[in-house]
Amino acid sequence: IAMDDGIRSRILESLGSSEEDQGYYGPKCRLLSEFLSTDFCCSGKRYQNKDNKSNHDNDKGFNGDKSENSNIDHQMLLNMLDSELQDRVAIFSDHVINNCHNNDVFWKGRVPRNVVEIESEPRILMNDRGAAVPNIAEGSWPMVEGAMILASAGLTRFCLDTIDTQFETAFEAILRRNFYRVEHLNLSWDKADEQMRRCSASVSGYFSPKYREAKFKQHIAELGASLQQ
């Protein structure tokens, strides 16, 4: 993950002229600013508590209009932070989250040399109307700091969603490997859950019993429909 396009370009140049290396590693080298886009860092899953995750498609707000989903994802990044960090970055969140010019935030940002410089740059300014506004001037360290914190939250969200997706894929594979015959249609949930735990306790244990049961019932319903064809 590179801080800006200049650093990313140098990383890609270090790969040499091999088209195979460029094609493989190029897409894997991302910009930190990309994780300020909720379309990118929150696109893998609309992450929720695993107890309720069996009803993804019916959750209010996750299949509505784009602006509503964006607001939910926006708040999701803020909720990744503890209260102290939230207070520190909240005034900049509207400016840096989902801003198409986010790459310039880190490219033009000036890193303070010491604590004195950090504390000397105001976080709040007074505009011409006398209203207090966040210091979003180009290169403003408070804004850059806020963007870095929020991008780190976005990166963490992306990693958590990726892990969640991988476990769900593994769990679905367990369902397919263990329950695929006609006699499995009448298998009780308790026996099925015990069999899945024996198959892979680490994967099945990742999800709540409520979610596992819902996924099992969904799988059995789909199995019954396919066997009737």
Give the model's confidence band at 38: pLDDT under 50 very low, under 70 low, under 90 confident, else very high: confident
99, two tokens: 């801003």
Q: 130-174, pLDDT tens digit by residue?
A: 899 999 888 889 999 999 999 999 999 999 999 999 999 999 999
Model's pTM, two decimal places?
0.74
pLDDT the model gives residue 102: 64
Give the closest residue to 80 by CA, choosing from 146, 24, 150, 10.
Answer: 150
The residue with greater pLDDT, 99 or 121, is 121
- Of 136-140, 158-162, 177-181, 189-193, the least confident: 136-140
Give the model's confidence band at 72: pLDDT under 50 very low, under 70 low, under 90 confident, else very high: low
Taking the C-alpha atoms of residue 92 and residue 85, their distance in angstroms, rounded to an integer, is 12
Based on the number of CB atoms within 10 Å of its own CB, is 147 exposed (0-12), middle (13-18) or buried (19 or more)? buried
140, two tokens: 């403003």
Taking the C-alpha atoms of residue 77 and residue 22, their distance in angstroms, rounded to an integer, is 32
